[in-house]
Amino acid sequence: MKIAIVPGDGIGKEVIPAALSVLDAFGLDIEKIPLEIGYGKWKRTGSALTDDDINLIKDCDCVLFGAITTPPDPNYRSVLVRLRKELDLYANIRPFSPLKTVKLPCAKKFDFVIVRENTEGMYSGVEELHEDAAYTTRVLTRKGCERIAERACALAKPRKKNITVVHKANVLKSDSFFRDVCTGVAKRNGISYNEMLVDAMAYDLILRPEKYDVIVTTNLFGDILSDEAAAIAGGLGLCPSANVGDRYALFEPIHGSAPDIAGKGIANPIAAILSVRMMLEWMGEMESAKSISRAVDNVLQQGIVTPDMGGSYSTVDVSDAIAKMVNR
């Protein structure tokens, strides 16, 4: 297995080495290819991501990604949006269930996963900027909707065999198209479904998160709902994600480069470590993946946590404690 390692900028440079120390504890046969991509590289070379970087990544099986600071350049094209397109990582999978001992803003237990379409919708890149108007075209294709719905149904099968399709079909024609394709795929797969309008979903996810299991939605709605979900699951420092296609995959914490705390050694590494857990699952290393979950729970129970969770431990204290506990 060959993995491209992209720490990126800010706390990406702290949480990725921390997560790698946990991965290394398993002694798996993995080749790591370090790559510099992001704002730091843009400042040095004028380019955040080159064609050579893309080619090196395409020569790997998957990517472990930290976070990138958006450069202050009006012509800058998002590195992640480009990577998702180039590698055809059409499904962004974000699981949310509160970890043990994490104090939550809502009282109930929940366990849901947001399956966000990752290559089209509002982020299709079809845009026009004029003097007095600006246009962004929201492209949804049958192929794009079918494959994200198939992915959601596959996830739903070993779970509750139900998907919630989130859309705004009462206003947007592209969303009635999305809804119809998704419900058709669900029927074909013997998966039950229900629908939610995205604004009602934003409200209900906070009040009744326990109602949901597999949520499938378009790119921008999924982007917004998943940050909301991170807030109810205990914070950005805890939430991992997988961007997957049929050939490649990219694993990353959902947080950004956090310039406000970068360089202080206090970033919470758990989101990055749980992203490694998702990577191990994708590789089929199920036992190692489970052992990470157990170790994270144990370390949280011992109160070895960073300041965002009310503790006074450093990034490395937390990852060292988890690395020592895996495989036990």
Residues that bind Mg ion (CB under 5 A): 223
What lies within 8 Å, CB to CB, of 25 at 6+ separation is 323, 324, 326, 327
Q: Quick one: which segment of 124-132, 210-218, 256-264, 294-302 binds ligand NAI (CB under 6 A)?
A: 256-264
Nearest to 275 by CA among 291, 258, 254, 301: 254
Q: Least distance in Å: CB of 256 to ligand NAI?
A: 2
Q: Please, which residue, 241 or 306, has the CB nearer to Mg ion?
A: 241
Q: β-pairing, 2-8 with 62-67?
A: parallel
199 is catalytic: yes
256 binds, among ligand NAI, Mg ion, none (CB under 5 to 8 A by kind): ligand NAI
Catalytic pick from 41, 168, 308, 317?
168
Catalytic pick from 123, 193, 248, 313?
123
Catalytic pick from 199, 203, 246, 264?
199
Q: Which of residues 215-244 bind ligand NAI (CB under 6 A)?
A: 236-237
Q: Please, which residue, 76 or 203, has the CB nearer to ligand NAI?
A: 76
Binding flag, residue 156, ligand NAI (CB under 6 A): no
Q: How many CB atoms lie within 10 A of CB 213?
A: 17
Q: Least distance in Å: CB of 254 to Mg ion?
A: 7
How far is residue 57 from each of residues 34, 152, 249, measured CA to CA in Å? 10, 26, 10
The secondary structure of residue 265, as a DSSP letter, is T
Q: Which of residues 291-320 bind ligand NAI (CB under 6 A)?
A: 308
268 binds, among ligand NAI, Mg ion, none (CB under 5 to 8 A by kind): ligand NAI
SS (H, E, C) 107-173: CCCCCEEEEEECCCEEEEEEEEECCCCEEEEEECCHHHHHHHHHHHHHHHCCCCCEEEEEECCCCCH
41 is catalytic: no
92 binds, among Mg ion, ligand NAI, none (CB under 5 to 8 A by kind): none
Q: How many CB atoms lie within 10 A of CB 199?
A: 13
Helical axes 315-325 vs 270-283, angle rounded to 10°: 40
Binding flag, residue 35, ligand NAI (CB under 6 A): no
29 is catalytic: no
**Torsion angle (degrees, nearest 10) of CA 302, 308, 312, 314:** 90
Binding flag, residue 258, ligand NAI (CB under 6 A): yes
Distance CA 8, CA 253 (A): 12
Q: Quick one: which segment of 112-120, 122-130, 137-145, 266-274 binds ligand NAI (CB under 6 A)?
A: 266-274
- Strand, coil or helix: what is 188? helix
Binding flag, residue 81, ligand NAI (CB under 6 A): no
Judged on CB neighbours under 10 Å (0-12, 13-18, 19+), 189 is middle
Binding flag, residue 69, ligand NAI (CB under 6 A): yes
**Using CB under 6 A as the criterion, which residues of the chain lie in contact with ligand NAI when the complex forms?**
11, 15, 67-70, 80, 236-237, 252, 255-261, 267-268, 271, 308
Catalytically active residues, by annotation: 123, 168, 199, 223, 227
